Amino acid sequence: MVPSNDPMRALLTAAAALLGVALAGCVPELAGSPAHPNPIIVREFAISPGVVTLDPSFGFSLHRGVSGVPPSQRAAGVARAAAFNLADAIAQQLSLLGYDAIRSNTAVPEPGARALIVSGAFRHLDEGRRRQVGAENPSIAVDTRIDYQIEAAAPQRVTELHLDSRQVPQDAIVAVSGRRGVDVNLAATRVGGAIARYLGETARLNNWPGAPR
């Protein structure tokens, strides 16, 4: 449940209203029984190494005369890991909330089905300073898009979320990960949990069915 004093409440209410309009005007007549009649499809968020700020205290080699990992290679690896953790957290949290979450960059609703689709892009990713214990300060910021789609029809935009891990509370994650500590992947996981929380609340307000049993 989203607290009544949550600053995202107005956005959540607007998203629920927009989804309600889409559902009212575009409910398909189900043909047969699709395996996933009401999935929530989670895409991996786009990220460019150019938005990554690396921790300058890492990436060197302990062997004299041997260069460390090139910054471009490190940035690409950090970007891939953060994108994976973000999408994984969204899908895991939605599954824990009882929804039929599917992680896929290509999946579309089956014939006779409908779907909510989560996608987006990273605005920035900062590894922070991992050697500064207590002041690591890793962070990410993402632009999130939530669309509604029926079969092969064009997706309809429901809402957009602009989230920064520095403004997302620690309790945004509910049993998504047992990991503890401070790093950019945990920041991605926390933002993923927040995205799933708002999406789950939007779905609940519109009586979006859970996963098939």
What is the sign of the dihedral through the CA atoms of 27, 32, 38 and 43? Answer: negative
CB-based contact 199:116 (threshold 8 Å): yes
Each residue's pLDDT tens digit, 28-55: 555 568 999 999 999 999 999 999 999 8
Its pTM stands at: 0.81
- For residue 56, the model assigns a pLDDT of 83
Q: For residue range 146-196, what is the model confidence (pLDDT) as tens digits?
A: 999 998 799 999 999 999 999 987 765 545 544 445 689 999 999 999 999
Amino acid identity at 151: E
Q: CA-CA distance, 123 to 19, in Å (whole number)? A: 26
pLDDT in tens, 80-124: 999 999 999 999 999 999 999 999 999 999 999 999 999 999 999
How far from 186 is each of 29, 144, 145, 177, 198, CA to CA, in Å? 42, 18, 21, 9, 19
Task: Say which amino acid occupies 81.
Answer: A
Q: Which segments of 97-139 does DSSP mark as H helices, in order?
A: none
